[in-house]
Amino acid sequence: MRAGDEIRREAAGSDRQLGTGLGLALAAATGLAVANLYYAQPLLHTIGDDLGTSEGRTGLVVTAGQVGYAVGLAFVVPLGDLISRRRLIPTVLGGMAAALVGVAAAPSLPVLALALVVVGLGAVAAQLLVALTAGLAGDGERGRAVGTVMTGLLLGILLARTVAGGLAALFGWRGVFVVAAIVAVALAVGLARLLPPDGERVRIGYGAVLASTAELLRDLPELRRSALLGALGFATFSVFWTTISFHLAAAPFDWGDGAIGLLGLVGAAGAVCATAAGRLADRGLAAPGRVAAALAVVASFGLLWTGRHSVAAIVVGVVVLDVGVQGIQVLNQTVIYELAPEARSRITSAYMTLYFIGGALGSAVGAAAYDAGGWGRTCALGVALGGAAVLAATYALVRTSGRAGLRPAPARPAG
């Protein structure tokens, strides 16, 4: 029997419990889908040199992809509650593959940025997969399941930089996106065969789905708190990863694309905290866990500033930053998926739209900060945003102190 058939049978026979094989496959697919947003980051100085643009303008390439991702989260992800994700996800990935070809052929920065907006739209397949995972998992294993798939997502984000650096050293920066397009096509075909059938869909129109997404954000205070915290955390993440290639390409490091990409391997060490964070949420300790994770983000930028000329200090700072940001994200998503189980795609849309708006703003202001004041200004910005995340997490802890850790109360269904 083929592996895909075994995984589908495992899922069908588990009464919507997420089997190990399917869970790992979804984690890998999530990482491969989201990686397309980040291939450009370690290549920014090379892209800028090739297209003749400044560091500040080239940094907006990352912002373009994240803007597209935010738009996709707002307008594409809610469709997961309306039509079959088994059909939707491969379709979205196919469109992304075409856009990646456009990136590889882009003759100028504006064309490149436009193509990356479309790539961002397609990369929301990762969040459709996260919502699908949460729906397949049982109540007693949802935190662990979300932690597993988020491990795949973080590994995709971080290892994308390593892969991009290595491929660029062999084939040039345009070759990176040719390979990415081929992988996206293969992923679309594979998921069309692998994904299990969806359950019953909501019987409302697309406009009503979008309206109910906004209503969820309006009616669920915990969703708003989690979205604010997540946006601040991801803003700090984007500040670092948008500017680190400029810092390491300059003296005293003078690193090339391949060496900069290897830093993603270091950051991937932070992925080990994802499953642990999920288990923490399953025990009802999400609220204090989020405060600790936000404090780790602040500490990481202190390390990155004091050790700005030390590779070892930067390595430690990267690990601490990724542990903090990943901890915030896993704990947040475990919480929000319990708020309205029948509307998980819309919950994902509302939360992740604000999350990636935070990331896009972090990329933009991070590039501007580096352009204006170098690495010191960048780290000061990271500390400020991380401090705001600590305040947001502390506020959420206070507001939920009457409950066990942070297990959301049942919410009124939307839509």
DSSP 381-404: HHHHHHHHHHHHHHHHHHHTTTSS
User: Mean pLDDT over residues 45-68, rounded?
Assistant: 82
What is Dmax (Cα atoms) for the chain? Answer: 60
Residues in the chain: 415
User: Mean pLDDT over residues 131-147, rounded?
Assistant: 74
Residue 1 has pLDDT above 50, yes or no: no
Residue 51 has pLDDT above 60, yes or no: yes
Name the most confidently modeled range: 211-215, 293-297, 319-323, 355-359: 293-297
Other beta carbons within 10 angstroms of residue 302's beta carbon come to 15
Q: Which residue type occupies 195?
A: L
Query: For residues 111-144, b (16+ Cβ closer than 10 Å) or e, as one string?
Result: ebbbbbbbbbbbbbbbbbbbbbbbbbbeeebbbb
Q: Note the pLDDT tens digit of each residue in 243-297.
A: 998 899 888 888 887 777 777 777 666 666 666 777 777 777 888 999 999 999 9
Among 197-201, 244-248, 401-405, name the one with the lowest average pLDDT: 401-405
Residue, of 285 and 119, whose pLDDT is higher: 119
pLDDT value, residue 402: 47
Is residue 407 very low, low, confident or very high in pLDDT (cuts 50, 70, 90)?
A: very low
Residue, of 360 and 108, whose pLDDT is higher: 108
pLDDT value, residue 317: 93
Instruction: Please give the Cα distance from 336 to 58 (Å, whole number).
Output: 35
Instruction: Please give the Cα distance from 413 to 415 (Å, whole number).
Output: 7
> How far are the Cα atoms of 77, 275, 332 from residue 289, in angstroms, in the given order?
28, 13, 10
- 244, 98, 252, 105: which is closest to 173 by C-alpha? 105
Distance of CA 255 to the CA centre of its chain: 26
CA atoms within 13 A on the CB side of 333: 36
| Dihedral sign, Cα of residue 275, residue 279, residue 280, residue 286 | positive
pLDDT value, residue 119: 96
CB 351 within 8 A of CB 332: yes
| Dihedral sign, Cα of residue 123, residue 128, residue 131, residue 136 | negative
Residue 415 has pLDDT above 70, yes or no: no
CB 96 within 8 A of CB 36: yes
Residue 341 has pLDDT above 50, yes or no: yes
- 155, 357, 164, 327: which is closest to 245 by C-alpha? 164
Instruction: Please give the Cα distance from 317 to 248 (Å, whole number).
Output: 14
Residue 6 has pLDDT above 80, yes or no: no
Residue 167 has pLDDT above 80, yes or no: yes
Q: Which residue type occupies 239?
A: V
Name the most confidently modeled range: 14-23, 105-114, 395-404: 105-114
Structure-token pair, residue 409: 């109360």
pLDDT value, residue 139: 65
- 180, 300, 325: which is closest to 244 by C-alpha? 300
User: Mean pLDDT over residues 215-242, rounded?
Assistant: 93
Instruction: Please give the Cα distance from 62 to 70 (Å, whole number).
Output: 12
pLDDT value, residue 414: 38
Residue 213 has pLDDT above 50, yes or no: yes
The CATH superfamily assigned to 3-399 is MFS general substrate transporter like domains (1.20.1250.20)
Residue 3 has pLDDT above 70, yes or no: no
Backbone angles phi, psi at 246, to 5 degrees: -65, -40
Residue, of 341 and 133, whose pLDDT is higher: 133
User: Mean pLDDT over residues 229-242, rounded?
Assistant: 93
The domain ranges of the chain are 3-399
Query: For residues 255-272, b (16+ Cβ closer than 10 Å) or e, as one string?
Result: bbbbebbebbebbbebbe
pLDDT value, residue 84: 81
Which residues have CB under 8 Å from 94's CB, separation 6+? 184, 185, 188
pLDDT value, residue 305: 94
pLDDT value, residue 206: 82
Which residues have CB under 8 Å from 15's CB, separation 6+? none
Is the pTM higher than 0.85?
Answer: no
Residue, of 3 and 328, whose pLDDT is higher: 328
pLDDT value, residue 126: 93
Q: Which residue type occupies 78?
A: P
pLDDT value, residue 357: 86
